[in-house]
Amino acid sequence: MSQVIPFQDSDLEKLYSFIRFLLTKLPRGDRGPIYNFDDDVALKYYRLQKIGEGSIVMEPDARYEVPGPTAVGTGILRGDEIELSKLIDILNERFGTEFKPGDQLFFESIREDAMADSGLRQAALANTMENFGYVFCKALEGLFIDRMEQNEEITAKFMNEDQFREAISRHLLKEVYDKIREEAEAVGGNEAAGSFSH
């Protein structure tokens, strides 16, 4: 928002940005009591019973037929895309981290959050990737903080290490920008009206 309209109270915005970064440094609070029901709940009986046997015959139904392709599209030459699992390999090699393939789910969540943000969608459709980057990189910090509980290690590294943040931001920027524009082309319209400036 600060890229688009002036705030009346700039000190309040500075305080908000400071507190967002401070959250990553503060110790995590108590997550609540841990319950143990071992002494209260026990499996005493288990029964397995066969109640029937037979075969299922699939009858053809015209209502559910999937038609074949009716038109041939044109091939579009696209640049090499980096899969998120390969991104994790690159990060591990470049920054000495030990992220596992399961960590890609965290990056996928961040990407999906960015693509679902209406402001980012409008900015992607109305700007070049370079101009979109100014809006996206600022919003990306908030997306990481919002999902900090899912992966504190990656979030802390993203917030504290400039080169790590730049590598992640550059990759997600291209991926989000391309996917938003591809989806808009697929539905045959432009979701953004007018231009979006920063």
* Domain annotation covers residue 11: no
Q: Is the pTM of this model over 0.75?
A: no
pLDDT at 194 (0 to 100): 42
* Domain annotation covers residue 58: no
* Domain annotation covers residue 128: yes
- Residue range of the domain that includes 166: 102-188
* Domain annotation covers residue 194: no
The total domain count for the chain is 1
Range of 37-41, 52-56, 177-181 with top mean pLDDT? 177-181
Q: Choose between 37 and 77: higher pLDDT.
A: 37
* Domain annotation covers residue 43: no
- H-only helix segments in the chain: 10-23, 84-95, 104-116, 118-126, 129-146, 152-160, 162-186
Cβ–Cβ under 8 Å, residues 24 and 159: yes
* Domain annotation covers residue 94: no
Q: Supply the DSSP symbol for 2.
A: T
* Domain annotation covers residue 140: yes
* Domain annotation covers residue 69: no
pLDDT at 196 (0 to 100): 46
